[in-house]
Structures are given as C-alpha cells and as structure tokens.
C-alpha cells in the first residue's frame, strides 16, 4: 500500500499513513458507522477500526467521537475530509480513464434538488453535462430537501444536491462546498455602514426568516436566543430567493446561505459577513446501498470542477455590495 509522509514531532514512531487509511476516514465521515464503511470499502469492521486507530496515532489526535453507536467526526476530521475531496476526485479520474479518452455516457440520470439550488445553480451545469453526453437522458426534479433525502435513500433518484444535513443511514454524502452565513440588507439600510453584523445589531429589527422546515432555521434561532436578542419576524418564506426579494423591497433583513445566490442578488441589496459564524455545507446525496453510476460520478465531477474553475464561486462573507452584472 502506498504510504504518504505526515508531519511529525521528534521521537514519534510512525511517520506516514496509507491511502487506505484516508479512504477509511472518508467512508466514516460519510457513513458514521464502521460497519457501513467496511461494507463500502470491502473490508472487515476490525480492519476499519484498526486503520482509524493507526491514522489517529500517526496524526497524534482523535478524529471521531463515539456517540449512540455512531462515529461522529470532529472539526479536524471534517477539515481533513474536505481537503481530500479534490485528491480522491483526481485519483478517480486517473483510475477510470484519461480525459483524452473520455467516453460519452448513455442511459438515464435522475437528479433532484431543492428550489434555490435547482433554479439558481444547476441549469447551466446540467446543460454542460447534456452537451458532453448527448445520449444521456436526464430527469431533473425540483423538490423539498426533506423529500429529496428520503427519495434518494429509496433510490428514486441517482443523485441529489442540497444544503440540508441528512442524518439517514440510506444516504451517502459527498461535500461540494462549505460556506458561512451572510447578512442580507436593503441597499440604504443603516447597518450597511458596518463591516460585520452581529446579533445585537439586529435587536428589534424587521427580519425575513426561512420557514421552520429549513435545517438552518434552528441554528439561526439559537444564535439569537443565546444572545438574548429579539428580532421582529415580519415574514417566513420557503426559499432564499424569495427572502432576498423581500429584503430588496425593504421589508427587513435576513440571514442566509450565500450558496448559490450571492452573485445573483442584483441591485438594491448589500451583503455583509455575520458573526458568530453559521456553517453551511452543500452535499451531493446518493443511495448508500449501491455504488454511484458512471453518469452520476461524471455529474458530481463536472459540477465540482465548475466551482474550481470559477464559473460560480459563492461568497462565504466579505464586505460586498452585489453587482447586477455578476452572473
């Protein structure tokens, strides 16, 4: 097994880790269970546990917490897993075929996404995929994140893309993008003078909230509860797109995930970073009981590549006023 050198302090014994150990880490982050990771990698459960122990010993720190029969990745494990994404994507490309010999995919590909991602991010990606694969039939559904998670787990779709955080054994996740929440303000709002917006700045402020079925709503509400800040919620709405339009109309301010709409907000809206940080993660979802099809892998690869080449790079904050010609 190929070994990779790892930074180490003087006196430490083992100074490298294997590609298999990194595969185990990624499988455990995605599944949360050693049994599922073992099945996915074609290993025994003891071998998975041993590989994790060896990796933690090499790095000199614990990567997972044991909770209720699950392995819960800590911040260090999530950071390593995120950095490994492009590495394993490159290895997959090399193992599968060279780019010069790339084949056009056939058959069908069933894709689902919630409204904001479906309307603001995926059309251009699906158009590019279709042009590269003219014999591939794409079925594209727009559904709520809750329905998407259960439908992918039941293999009604080959792949989904959502910023909801699924806790479902029937789902395999693959990170696309990690971002942090932004504060969206009407262009002439008094808070546009601030470099960073904090909870206390929004005391009594008219506020546009996402409905409670959104996974981020609980996290946003908790931040204000901990700060002892009371907002004046004037509208609860189902999508970030509609929330942005209410902000543009001057009805209030909002907190939202910058992905995928930050560069498409247009005139009349100003974006500011918000602290404390509200983390968001956009994930591909695939059924856990079967490997992704070649067409699914191509969709994931080309979608990720479109971000890496800068075709659309969502903001994660920053002192930004939207540009109407930005997308």
Burial of 198 (0-12, 13-18, 19+ CB in 10 A): middle
Taking the model in full, what pTM does it have? Answer: 0.63
If asked whether residues 138 and 284 sit together in one domain, one would say yes
* Within a domain: 206: yes
- Following DSSP, what letter does each residue of 44-66 receive, concatenated? -HHHHHHHHHHHHHHHTS--EEE
Sequence-distant (≥ 6) Cβ neighbours of residue 95 within 8 angstroms? none
Do 71 and 191 share a domain, yes or no? no
Q: 273 and 284, same structural domain? A: no
Contact in structure between 33 and 23 (CB atoms under 8 Å): no
Residues 289 and 148 in one domain: yes
Residues 58 and 24 in one domain: yes
Per-residue pLDDT for 4 more than 90?
no
pLDDT in tens, 55-80: 998 888 899 988 877 888 898 889 88
Pairwise CA distance, residues 189 & 185, whole Å: 6
User: Residue 131 has which token pair?
Assistant: 């042009």
Q: Does one domain contain both 43 and 59? A: yes
With vertex at residue 216, the alpha carbon angle to CA 202 and CA 262, rounded to the nearest 5 degrees, is 75
Task: Examine the pLDDT at 97 and tell me if it is beyond 70.
Answer: no
Residue 325 CA to residue 264 CA, distance in Å, equals 8
Q: Read out DSSP for 244-264?
A: HHHHHTTS-BEEE--TTTGGG
Q: Are residues 291 and 168 in the same domain?
A: yes
Residues 7 and 52 in one domain: yes
Q: Any bridge partners for residue 320, and if so which?
A: 271
Q: Where are the beta strands (DSSP E) in 80-132?
A: 107-113
Does the pLDDT of residue 302 top 80, yes or no?
yes
CA distance 203 to 200: 5
Asked if residue 102 has a cis previous peptide bond (ω within 30° of 0), the answer is no
Digit-coded pLDDT (tens) for 144-165:
888 999 999 999 999 999 998 8
Verify that 289 and 170 share a domain, yes or no. Answer: yes
- The answer as to whether 23 is a domain residue is yes
Is pLDDT of 319 > 50? no
Distance CA(16)–CA(276), nearest Å, equals: 36
* pLDDT tens, position by position, 280-299: 999 999 999 889 999 999 99
Residue 40 resides in a domain: yes
> Where residue 101 falls among pLDDT bands split at 50, 70, 90?
very low
- What is the C-alpha separation between 306 and 129, in angstroms, rounded? 11
The reply to whether 326 falls in a domain is: no
Q: In the predicted model, is pLDDT for residue 182 greater than 90?
A: yes
Which of 6-20, 115-129, 178-192, 237-251 is predicted least confidently?
A: 6-20
Find the CATH number of the domain harbouring 118: 3.40.190.10
The answer to whether 199 touches 225, Cβ cutoff 8 Å, is: no
Using DSSP, state whether 228 is helix, strand or coil: coil
Q: What is the CATH number of the domain that holds 90?
A: 1.10.10.10
Predicted confidence band at 199 (pLDDT cuts at 50, 70, 90)? very high
Residue 205 falls inside a structural domain:
yes
DSSP 158: S
User: Do 184 and 258 lie in a common domain?
Assistant: yes
Evaluate whether residue 99 is within a structural domain. no
Q: Which domain holds residue 118?
A: 106-176+280-308
- The average confidence (pLDDT) of the chain is 85
Q: Is the domain of 171 the same as that of 290? A: yes
CB-hemisphere CA count at 13 Å for 66?
A: 4
Question: Tokens 């500011």, residue?
Answer: 272
Domain contains 38: yes
Split into its structural domains, the chain has a count of 3
Per-residue pLDDT tens digits for 229-246: 999 999 999 899 999 999
327 in any annotated domain: no
Residue 290's Cβ-side half-sphere holds a number of Cα atoms within 13 Å equal to: 14
Same domain, 78 and 214: no
In this predicted structure, the answer to whether residue 311 has a pLDDT above a threshold of 60 is no
What are the strands, taking DSSP E only, across the chain?
A: 3-5, 16-18, 64-67, 70-73, 107-113, 136-142, 159-162, 171-180, 182-186, 206-210, 232-237, 254-256, 269-273, 279-287, 320-321
């Amino acid at each position: 097994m190929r070994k990779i050198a790892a930074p180490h302090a003087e006196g430490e014994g083992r100074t490298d880790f294997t590609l298999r150990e990194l595969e185990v880490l990624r499988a455990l982050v995605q599944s949360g269970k050693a049994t599922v990771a073992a099945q996915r990698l074609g290993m025994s459960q003891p071998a998975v546990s041993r590989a994790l122990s060896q990796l933690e010993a090499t790095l000199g720190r614990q990567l997972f917490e044991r909770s209720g029969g699950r392995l819960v990745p800590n911040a260090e494990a999530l950071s390593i897993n995120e950095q490994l994404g492009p590495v394993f994507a490159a290895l997959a490309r090399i193992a599968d075929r060279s780019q010069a010999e790339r084949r056009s995919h056939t058959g069908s590909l069933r894709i689902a996404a919630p409204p904001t991602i479906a309307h603001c991010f995926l059309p251009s990606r699906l158009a590019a995929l279709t042009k590269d694969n003219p014999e591939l039939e794409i079925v594209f559904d727009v559904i709520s994140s809750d329905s998407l998670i259960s439908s992918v787990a039941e293999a009604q779709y080959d792949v989904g893309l959502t910023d909801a955080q699924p806790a479902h054994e029937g789902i395999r996740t693959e990170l696309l993008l990690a971002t942090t929440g932004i504060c969206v303000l009407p262009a002439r709002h008094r808070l546009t003078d601030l470099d960073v917006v904090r909870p206390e700045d929004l005391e009594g402020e008219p506020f546009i909230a996402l409905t409670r079925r959104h996974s981020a709503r609980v996290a946003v509400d908790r931040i204000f509860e901990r700060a002892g800040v009371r907002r004046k919620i004037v509208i609860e709405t189902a999508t970030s797109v509609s929330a942005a339009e209410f902000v543009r109309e001057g009805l209030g301010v909002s907190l939202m995930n910058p992905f995928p709409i930050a560069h498409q907000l247009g005139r009349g809206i100003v974006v500011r970073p918000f602290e404390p940080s509200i983390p968001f993660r956009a994930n591909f979802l695939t059924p856990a009981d079967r490997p992704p099809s070649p067409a699914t892998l191509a969709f994931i690869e080309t979608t990720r590549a479109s971000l890496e080449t800068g075709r659309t790079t969502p903001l994660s904050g920053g002192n930004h006023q939207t540009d109407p010609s930005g997308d």
